[in-house]
Chains A and B, each alone.
Chain A
Amino acid sequence: MEKVFRNLLIWLLILVILVPLGIIASGTAYGEWGADELQSLIGYVPAGFASLQGLYHAPIPDYGTDWASSFIGQSLGYYLAAIIGVCLLGVLFYLIGKELTKNKEDNEDTA
């Protein structure tokens, strides 16, 4: 494995290890409010917004943090979400990249 790739991979793994830092902040991102938050912010749930609720249910809502109430429990869920996301995207793009470059031999010249 190339040294630069290995080191970047290590940095990525460190980010994954640190990922529970991302749930310490409890507020919702601006504009990403749910129905209950809109209710308390403006006193009603906008009708168009309400009609879109339940359009889709994600298999792992909130990155796996709502199954437990303790920080450790939520961190485990968040870890799971990070690992699933990283592995899925890593494998997917590795396969896509392999497919796109399979007929290229030494294509350094296209740079």
Chain B
Amino acid sequence: MIPIWYYAGRWLRTNLRTKQVPYLALAAAFSFVIMMFNVPIPGGSTGHAVGSALVAIILGPWAAVVTTSVALLIQCLLFGDGGITTFGANCFNMAVVIPFVGYYTYAFIAGKTKMTDRRRIIGSGVGAWLGLTLAAACAGFEMGIQPIINVSSTGVPLYMPYPLSVTVPAMVFGHAFFFSIVEVIVTVVAFTYIARNDPTIIWNYKAVEAASKPRVTAAAA
């Protein structure tokens, strides 16, 4: 994670605009609060949305790496949530997988449409769903390989006891049908609001605007 954080910091230094500063602060605070909304699911377990797909679409995936990582750091240092020993894995899943899968899914679906196009709204929703669901699958994978890579000399798991065949479906189910839906709602509502009311906040609005202009043909010129 360290080279990723380093690059993300450099990216933010180069690309952050003065106008975006209050939104960066808002994004970090939002990441923290949205993760406090634990949603119950059948079976007695709980989970939460993360909000980093939204931050990735608005401020750029590298900015989301930074805001989500620091929100996770505050969670674990101050509130004992997530844990020190799992901090790296948590950051990879929630501060890298979600922003990049979320943003590039959104960008792929959006294509060269205008910022207010319906395809962008759909893209933001699909991106949010896929980002969080894939992140959950990654977390399930990381848990499931523990009894393979970390066992005592007598074969007893040292940390996480459940195998891949249990952890991956458990994580994917809870997210795909519940927490990722929350992520979709939050992302679509906020993205639509920002795109319609002040698209200049969005990190790549100029590129989106330029790409969505109708092509001037030689004949028309």
Contact = CB atoms under 8 A, between A and B. Distances in A.
Decide if A and B are genuine partners.
Answer: yes
Contacts of A89: 25, 28-29, 31-32, 67, 70-71, 74
A15 B143 CA distance: 31
Interface string B32-76: 111011111000111110000000000000000001001100111
Interface in A54-105: 55-64, 78, 81-82, 84-94, 96-98, 100-101, 104
B95 to A, nearest CB: 14
B38 A31 contact: no
B78 to A, nearest CB: 6
B1 interface: no
Given A12-B26, A93-B67, A63 B150 contact: no
A28 interface: yes
B211 interface: no
B18 A107 contact: yes
A84 B21 CA distance: 20
Contacts of B29: 12, 85-87, 89-90, 93
Interface in B71-91: 71, 74-82, 84-85
B46 A46 contact: no
Interface residues of A, number: 69
B170 interface: yes
Interface stretch (B102-110, B117-125, B126-134, B151-159): B151-159
Nearest to B14: A110
Interface in A2-43: 2-5, 7-9, 11-12, 15-16, 18-19, 21-32, 38, 42
B79 A63 contact: yes
Nearest to B12: A100
Interface of A: 2-5, 7-9, 11-12, 15-16, 18-19, 21-32, 38, 42, 44, 46-49, 52, 55-64, 78, 81-82, 84-94, 96-98, 100-101, 104, 106-111
Which 8 pairs across A and B sit closest by C-beta, in order of nearness? A48-B158, A58-B80, A97-B21, A25-B40, A89-B28, A94-B25, A111-B206, A61-B80
5 contacts: A29-B45, A31-B143, A31-B160, A85-B32, A97-B16
Interface of B: 12-34, 36-40, 44-48, 67, 70-71, 74-82, 84-85, 139-140, 143, 150, 152, 156-161, 167, 170-171, 174, 190, 193-194, 197-198, 200-201, 203-207
